[in-house]
Homo-oligomer: A and B are copies of this chain.
């Protein structure tokens, strides 16, 4: 998820979005569905691992983020790798 804030936003509007973004993101992390959240070093981007039950649920999670309309998002479906040694994937 690459975030691109519109240049016209005031500092207040930006902080309001950032606060709500954090709340929404942490709600999904606490639910156990948003497994990992990393900052891409040197960019206003993150790489996340989300374990959703269906593409519908994945869309529900991602589109609930307040900054969703200002993100460029790339989704990749992953599954178990034959060489992985763990019982569970995550």
Task: Name A's B-contacting residues (CB within 8 A).
Answer: 5-8, 21-22, 25-26, 29-30, 36-44, 46-47, 49, 54-56, 58-59, 62-63, 68-69, 73, 75-86, 89-90
Complex Cα distance, B81 from A49, in Å, reads: 13
A81 and B25 CA atoms in complex are apart in Å by: 11
Number of copies of this chain that the complex holds: 10
Question: Judging by beta carbons under 8 Å apart, are B41 and A59 in contact?
Answer: yes
Please report the C-alpha to C-alpha distance between residue A85 and residue B30 in the assembled complex, in whole angstroms.
8
| Cα distance, A21 to B90, chains bound together (Å) | 22
Tell me if A80 and B38 are in contact (CB < 8 A).
Answer: yes
| B42 with A58: CB separation less than 8 A | yes
Contact of A36 among B42, B44, B90 (CB under 8 A): B90
